[in-house]
Amino acid sequence: MHILVVEDEPTLARQLADALTTAGYVVDTAADGQSGHYLGEVESFDAVVLDLGLPLMDGITVLRKWRNAGRTMPVLILTARDNWHEKVAGIDAGADDYLTKPFHMEELLARLRALLRRAAGHASPELQCGSVVLDTRNARVTVDGQALSLTSHEFRVLSFLMHHQDQVISRSTLTEHIYAQDYDRDSNTIEVFIGRLRKKLPEGLIVTVRGLGYRLACSS
Ligand code: CA
């Protein structure tokens, strides 16, 4: 899952990027409203953490512009303490959740997991597909209760597919959601990750839909 962090405070931006990367997400960061807005326009993100007090363009304006342009990704806003006006304005501008600074990183991660789940139509923190279970709380995958060892890229591919079960996902979509924006993206590597995942997962779980992409066959 691909997360955008728009935060001008360098220490907090780094802490957020580190915590999200450790949690198994791929992260892009922007340090001002203008570049954050641009990234949210041109890239595909599964969720955004958006500070409201930003240089060049404030967070409310960034959010409003995205929503006006039809960008529907979940957005969690970071607001200053004791500023309830800002929270109301943020929610009215299209925010899905908010956190007041300072916050605990664990709470941010939990709220983000909930946003990602809900956006994909899942109510439980455990995503299940046949005998495969992905626990979004600790980024662990089990097959028939046995822990599965995955590389970070394999995990990102599987996590995206588990969040979008029974949908056909193209290689280019997977590429956009498992690599950061400045990464040298090569959609051929997706085939490699899929090949490795197939060796680790039950047979027939990842279906190739010729010319279109891949589908996780969970409903049968
Ligand atoms: Ca700020």
What single-letter DSSP state applies at residue 105? H
Q: What is the whole-number distance in angstroms between the Cα of residue 12 and the centre of ligand 1?
A: 10
pLDDT in tens, 182-218: 777 777 889 999 999 999 999 999 999 999 999 999 8
CA of 84 to the centre of ligand 1 (A): 16
Q: How much is the pLDDT for 181?
A: 84
AA identity, residue 81: R
How much of the chain exceeds pLDDT 70, in percent? Answer: 100
Give residue 129's identity as a one-letter amino acid code.
C
- Output the CA 16–ligand 1 centroid distance in Å: 13
What is the CA(42)–ligand 1 centre distance, in A? 23
pLDDT tens-digit readout, 11-44:
999 999 999 999 999 999 999 999 999 999 999 9
The sign of the dihedral angle between the CA atoms of 59, 61, 66, 72 is: positive
* pLDDT value at 135 more than 60: yes
For residue 58, how far is its CA from the centre of ligand 1 (angstroms)?
A: 9
| Poorest-pLDDT segment among 33-42, 69-78, 95-104, 117-126 | 117-126
Q: What local confidence, expressed as pLDDT, does residue 148 receive?
A: 96
The pLDDT assigned to 182 comes to 76
How does DSSP assign 175-215, residue by residue? HHHHS-TTS---THHHHHHHHHHHHHSPTTSEEEETTTEEE
pTM (global) more than 0.85: yes
Alpha helices, DSSP H, located in 30-143: 33-42, 59-68, 84-92, 105-119
In percent, how much of the chain has pLDDT > 90?
89
pLDDT at 109: 98
CATH of domain 2-119: 3.40.50.2300
Q: If you measure from the C-alpha of residue 14 to the centroid of ligand 1, how many angstroms do you get, rounded to a whole number?
A: 13
Domain residue spans of the chain: 2-119, 126-216
Give me ligand 1 centre to Cα 31, in Å. 9
Dist. CA 65 → ligand 1 center (Å)? 19
Ligand 1 center to 10 CA (angstroms): 10
Ligand 1 centroid to 174 CA: how many Å?
A: 31
What CATH code is assigned to 126-216?
A: 1.10.10.10
Other beta carbons within 10 Å of 5:
27
Q: Using the predicted structure, report yes or no on whether residue 220 has a pLDDT greater than 60.
A: no
